[in-house]
Structure 1
Amino acid sequence: MLPLLSTRLLVVLAGMSVLIVVATVLLWDRAPGPRPARTGLRVVALLLGQVMAVATCAIALNDYGFFYGSWSELLGHQDRVAAVSRTDHVRTAPDGRGVVGGGGRVLGPAPFEAGSVPARDGKTVTVRLPGRRSGLAEIGFVHLPPEYFQPGWEHTQFPAVEVLTGYPGQATDLLKTLDVPAALRQVQRAGTAGPMVLVMLRSSPAFPRDTECVDVPRGPQAFTYFSQDVPADVASLFRVRPVGWGAMGDSTGGYCASKLAVTNSYVFPAAVALSGFNSPPQDLTTGDLFGGSASLRAQSDLVHLLRTGHSPAASLLLTTTRTERGPSGLDAVQTLQRAARPPLQVDTLIETRGGHSFSTWRPELPTVLAWLSSHLHPPRTPTG
């Protein structure tokens, strides 16, 4: 079977759609059999053409938005690791390929990784990050900057940034559609950002459920996964600073990034929310996130936390547009900004126009990555 995210699949479906239309037109008056049989064949041909056209459009839309990464995800099936045993510390080879251990595994090169030279372009690898504390696991991507492979940096620890998708996005969004590594290369070469490691994941580690970065009572511990497990797993595989991470995300991922900085600023002192929310929605995709507890819900409402005296030593950059409405629009951004008190710093990037879409977020990446770099500690070489 052709992969769901496959240009070949799209070409095959489009070709079949065209062939069915052409065949229907050419054979319309040549259908064999009595009149009822001919009518039935024509109806079947028309329906088949409609089905193929809809399927082609659906595959094209998924290819653009990466809502589902495989047939198994589309059908609601996904392998999940419930627990991880401890093993010896990981040794990281010069090419960035790790030995299994510490709860993580490097699976190989990332898709869409053109023949790059690591010491010039950096390198993106596919990783599996099974969380020991949460029992959740995700397959994502880690981008290592060129300096990671250059002489003189062999013992350097780099700042890391957790980059999260919206829902129901896939981690491949961050590679193919947004191409965050390319934006990082751009700002590094321009001298507006320093080297950093990008850890790219989808925001729903219990997919297809939308967990909204919440530790669900008697359910998926999504916040624990992103706030504790991911940094621990990545630090076991690569030379990254154990604390002082950044977080960045779009939509649901933007809310999660802000929440990480507001509630766990020691590990995540800086975050960027691209059209992020101030509080998680509850709908058919989320289910009951808080077990009916108003108190737990309030703890995930960022505006409520800031208005009731919570003021972490962190920095946020919130982006939106003047034409965006709803929970990620200008009013929501200004509400969160007004609720903030020192030492929390809230900066904003407000575009004149744009929507809740990749086409709005992609041009913002150089600016927000430069901002993140300026709010993270630079690479360091441990002493002792």
Structure 2
Amino acid sequence: MGLTSNKVLVLAIVLAVVLFLGTVWLWPRLGQRNWRAISGRVGLLLATQLAGYAMVGLATNQAFGFYASWSDLFGQETGQGVVVDHVAQGGSSPVQVVSASRVIGASSALPQMAGQVQKVDIIGRTTHLAAPAFVYLPPEYFQPQNRARKFPVSVVLTGYPGTAQALVDKLDYPTTAQQLAKSGKMQPMILVMLRPTVAPPRDTECVDVPGGPQTETFLAKDLRDSVMARYRVDKTPASWGIAGDSTGGYCALKIAMHHPGSYAAAAGLSPYYRALIDPTTGDLFHGDKNLQNRADLFWALKHLPAPETSLLVTSSRVGEHNYKDTLKFIKSVQDTNVTRISSIILPNGGHNFNTWKREIPPMLQWMSERLVAH
């Protein structure tokens, strides 16, 4: 059974309850002061606590989608996603559709009525990286009268470690986008949902690591090229936006700022503004101070040409650690007089799915207003 299986969670809950009740029942019998009784009490306490921690951990992972599998949890995903260039050998699409399903909550199974969510593998032709993703196609994409129409695209990134699946069934991006479009609050838009961890288990912070994974190039160039080769989308930056939460929010802002010729708008939900360095990232810059500075968005705003792009950042006055940095970032962007900045500041909210679900609908409307359909 998989890490995110409901059966695993139910089993953990049952085990924790049984051990708790067993401890209460057996405790009087283990009241003697001998090594067997003491060992029994210690064993019951340890087993009960471990079962409780496992239950809470599994439930938290189910809610927030930190790890997708047991191998992901234990750091056994070590491959860097290097792929064979099938386009060069066989002419196949750089986006391989694995499966298709209806949008959660949709009343119809017909794509032209309810849209479709495709599970895909995206192959980067220049970086030779590959990433699993989910692509939401709105109902209008399948309607005959729109067969020549090109649709705007928003790339959506998770945090680290995160799972792309969580964007679909925990943060409800496809359902939210469909409901907003149906009510006329946003235009029909394609969503390409993935995690920025393209070289698991390493957190590359969306940096082109010297001698390592070229994550920034993958997101700024390869991803766009691959999606354009498969779907009816336009290549102009005015048709492309990028968004994300936490690490994904930092990546979205950075990619748009570094590559305004790729993305006309970017939204960071609870983002931070400098690349993190910790055991999950390893050495990202290999002593290259220019590369490290470039990954600092405050430094970039001060020392690099101001990009022609629109940015949205979110935070909360109470509950978010990025609040002061977000206010500082807004001021720094305003000082450029070129880059446009918007914000969503909640009175209260944490660094979690519940907060982001409150921010996603207005963020998608903001994104829709800044992207152009053709």
Q: How does 1:21-100 map to 2 (within 5 A)?
A: 21-29=20-28, 35-78=34-77, 80-87=80-87
Distance 2:230 2:166 in 1: 23
Report the counterpart of residue 134 of structure 2 in structure 1. Answer: 141
* AA in 1 matched with 2:44: A
In the alignment, which of 250, 267, 274 is matched to residue 279 of structure 1?
Answer: 274
Contact 1:103–1:130, Cα closer than 8 Å, also in 2: yes
Residue deviations 1:189-214 (CA, integer Å, cap 9, x gap): 22121111100011221122111110
How many residues get paired? 367
CA drift at 1:302: 2.1
Distance 1:263 1:39 in 2: 63
In the alignment, which of 324, 332, 337 is matched to residue 336 of structure 1?
Answer: 332
Distance 1:138 1:110 in 2: 19
Contact 1:306–1:341, Cα closer than 8 Å, also in 2: no
CA drift at 1:59: 0.7
User: Which consecutive residues of structure 1, in runs of 5 or more, have no partner in the other structure?
Assistant: 91-99
Report the counterpart of residue 109 of structure 1 in structure 2. Answer: 100
CA drift at 1:30: 5.2
CA drift at 1:225: 1.2
Distance 1:332 1:183 in 2: 30
Report the counterpart of residue 248 of structure 1 in structure 2. Answer: 243
* AA in 1 matched with 2:36: A
Report the counterpart of residue 351 of structure 2 in structure 1. Answer: 356
Contact 1:81–1:130, Cα closer than 8 Å, also in 2: no
* AA in 1 matched with 2:55: T
Flag the 1:89–1:108 CA change in 2: closer, same or farther, 3 A. farther
Distance 1:232 1:183 in 2: 26
TM normalised by structure 1 equals 0.88
Distance 2:256 2:83 in 1: 27
CA drift at 1:10: 0.7
Q: Which is richer in helix? A: 2
Task: For residue 322 of structure 1, give the secondary structure of its aligned residue in structure 2.
Answer: strand
Contact 2:160–2:197, Cα closer than 8 Å, also in 1: yes
Distance 1:328 1:226 in 2: 28
Contact 1:322–1:329, Cα closer than 8 Å, also in 2: no
Contact 1:277–1:332, Cα closer than 8 Å, also in 2: no
Contact 1:108–1:125, Cα closer than 8 Å, also in 2: yes
Does residue 316 of the first structure (1) align with residue 311 of the second (2)? Answer: yes
Report the identity percentage: 37
Does residue 174 of the first structure (1) align with residue 167 of the second (2)? Answer: yes
* AA in 2 matched with 1:67: F
Residue deviations 1:219-240 (CA, integer Å, cap 9, x gap): 1111011111111222222222
Residue deviations 1:304-358 (CA, integer Å, cap 9, x gap): 222224122211112222233347744343343334332x211222222222222
Residue deviations 1:33-82 (CA, integer Å, cap 9, x gap): 99533443333222211211111111111111111001111121235531
Does residue 375 of the first structure (1) align with residue 370 of the second (2)? Answer: yes
Does residue 156 of the first structure (1) align with residue 155 of the second (2)? Answer: no
Distance 1:250 1:89 in 2: 37
Contact 2:315–2:322, Cα closer than 8 Å, also in 1: no
Distance 2:105 2:366 in 1: 27
Contact 1:211–1:222, Cα closer than 8 Å, also in 2: yes
Flag the 1:335–1:153 CA change in 2: closer, same or farther, 3 A. same
CA drift at 1:130: 2.3
Two-structure CA RMSD over aligned residues (Å): 2.5
TM normalised by structure 2 equals 0.90
Report the counterpart of residue 195 of structure 2 in structure 1. Answer: 202
Report the counterpart of residue 10 of structure 1 in structure 2. Answer: 9
Distance 2:259 2:326 in 1: 25
Distance 1:112 1:189 in 2: 14
* AA in 1 matched with 2:93: G
* AA in 2 matched with 1:170: T
Flag the 1:19–1:291 CA change in 2: closer, same or farther, 3 A. same
Distance 1:282 1:113 in 2: 37
Residue deviations 1:349-371 (CA, integer Å, cap 9, x gap): 22222222222221121111111
Flag the 1:371–1:222 CA change in 2: closer, same or farther, 3 A. same
Residue deviations 1:135-161 (CA, integer Å, cap 9, x gap): 222111100001011121123221111
Distance 2:103 2:13 in 1: 23
* AA in 2 matched with 1:363: R
